Amino acid sequence: MPPLLPLLLLSLLASASASPKWDVYALVKMKAALLVPATSTALADWDPAATPPAHCSFSGVSCDAAARVVGINLTGMPLQGGVLPPEVALLDALENLTVAACSLAGSVPASLAALPALRHLNLSNNNFTGPFPTPAGGGPYFPVLEVVDAYNNNLSGPLPPFGAAHARLRYLHLGGNYFSGAIRESYADLAALEYLGLNGNSLSGRVPASLARLKRLREMYIGYFNLFDGGIPQELGELDSLVRLDMSSCNLTGPIPQELGRLARLDTLFLQMNRLSGEIPTELGDIKDLKSLDLSMNQFIGEIPAGLANLTSLRLLHLFRNHLHGNIPEFMADLPHLEVLQLWENNLTGHLPAGLGKNSPLKMLDVATNHLTGQIPPDLCAGRKLEILVLMENGLSSPVPESLAVCKTLKRIRLGKNMLSGSVPARLFELPDAGEQA
């Protein structure tokens, strides 16, 4: 059969498919393609002999008042090796197609793009391969789509060509695949977009400054395995609605633009594992709602900026593996919600803030491999939350505080390669990781 003939046949079927009878036909075709082997007990109630409206009671199927299929949700159903057939396009009233975590394989049917009512498409956590559907001729291309979740598959090729025509698209997650090429400039025209996930692909080129036009964007994840050229566009500071920005591990270079300090709603900023350089801009302290800040494993120099004292909502601060120098600022002890502080492998000097742990629920402190001197603060476990304490490879010279001996939450402590005096409290040898305390 010539390759165009199946497509022609499908087109003819689709033109006559506006009835519950055709919906049953499409569901039967879907069952045959989804079940490999055919002896599988999944979808057992999808009876090929069913007549409308009995198909509306099939597991995972929902219908409207006219017995048209409007939703299919097979999340987690064991369909190992099954595929989505092109006949799914016969379900022309379908609004929601969710086949997440079903172990499906094969390609994503190009016919999905023509579904006139499809608003929600979730293909996540499967083994789909090949390209994402692209426009066929001048036909419709996901005309009313609002949600696309294709996370964690094996899709490849260029990113799908969404743009200004997709005015309703608010959630786009294509992470965890093998998409290549540049981030499309047309994505800046997705006016309703609130979530953009492109992380964990093989993307390249520059991060488009035009993404700053996404005024409704709340979350953006574009790091991990992508290899971009250049740095962080300063225009991203115009994303007024942004709450989470993750650009980790994607080869970014240059400084952090001070304009990021304008992201007043941001609660998470992850820029770790890049090649960013220069000083940490004090303007980051203007992001008053920031809860998690990770700038670790870069090439930052200078001191920890005083402006970070304004981050009174901060719970996690990672600055390890940089080239920072100077003292650990005293304000670190006054951050009321600080739980995790990791500053290891820098060139920090001076002493640890005396009140560290006294005013916050500190769970983890790691300042190993610096040049710190002086005493171990006595109140590190005052919040009764401390689990991990790593102070090794410094020049600390005080006795080990007795308060650590009665810290019931402490699980791991590393104090070696300092100049500590006195004896180690016996209780510390009884910790789960006692073998690593020396």
Please report, to the nearest 10 degrees, the dihedral formed by the alpha carbons of residues 159, 163, 168, 170 taken in order: 50
State the chain's mean pLDDT as an integer: 93
Residue 395 placed within a domain: yes
In whole angstroms, what is the distance from residue 215 CA to residue 148 CA?
A: 19
Read off the pLDDT band of 4 (50, 70, 90): very low
What was the pLDDT predicted at 425?
Answer: 77
Sequence-ordered list of residues with C-beta below 8 angstroms from that of 232, at least 6 positions apart, any chain? 207, 247, 252, 254, 256, 257, 260, 271, 276
Comparison of pLDDT for 283 and 40, the residue scoring more:
283
With respect to residue 376, please indicate whether it lies within any of the assigned structural domains.
yes
36 pLDDT band (50/70/90 cuts)?
confident
Structure tokens at 143: 């005309």
**65 domain residue, yes or no:** no
Within a domain: 278:
no
**What's the whole-number mean pLDDT along residues 126-141?**
91
Note the pLDDT of residue 149: 98
Residue 355: give its domain's CATH number: 3.80.10.10
Is the pLDDT reported for residue 20 higher than 80? yes
The pLDDT value given to residue 18: 73
Residue 358, in any domain of the structure: yes
Number of domains into which the chain is organized? 1
**Where in the sequence is the domain holding 411, given as residue range(s)?**
351-438
Give the pLDDT confidence of 394-422 residue by residue, as tens digits.
999 989 999 998 999 999 999 999 999 98
CA distance 369 to 426: 25
The predicted pLDDT at position 195 comes to 98
Q: Tell me: pLDDT of 8 over 50.
A: no
pLDDT band for position 256 (cuts 50, 70, 90): very high
Q: Are strands 120-122 and 69-73 parallel, antiparallel or unpaired?
A: unpaired
pLDDT > 60? residue 325: yes
Instruction: Write out pLDDT tens, residues 334-385.
Output: 999 999 999 999 999 999 999 999 999 999 999 999 999 999 999 999 999 9
pLDDT band at 6 (very low <50, low <70, confident <90, very high): very low
Query: Given this model, what pLDDT does residue 433 score?
Result: 61
Residue 40 lies in a domain: no
Tell me whether residue 8 is in a domain.
no
C-alpha closest to that of 155 among 137, 173, 142 = 173
- Segment 211-224 shows an average pLDDT of 98
Q: Across 19-23, 46-50, 146-150, which has the greatest mean pLDDT?
A: 146-150
| Cα maximum dimension of the chain | 87
Beta bridge partners of 342: 318, 366
Domain annotation covers residue 387: yes
What is the C-alpha separation between 84 and 91, in angstroms, rounded? 13
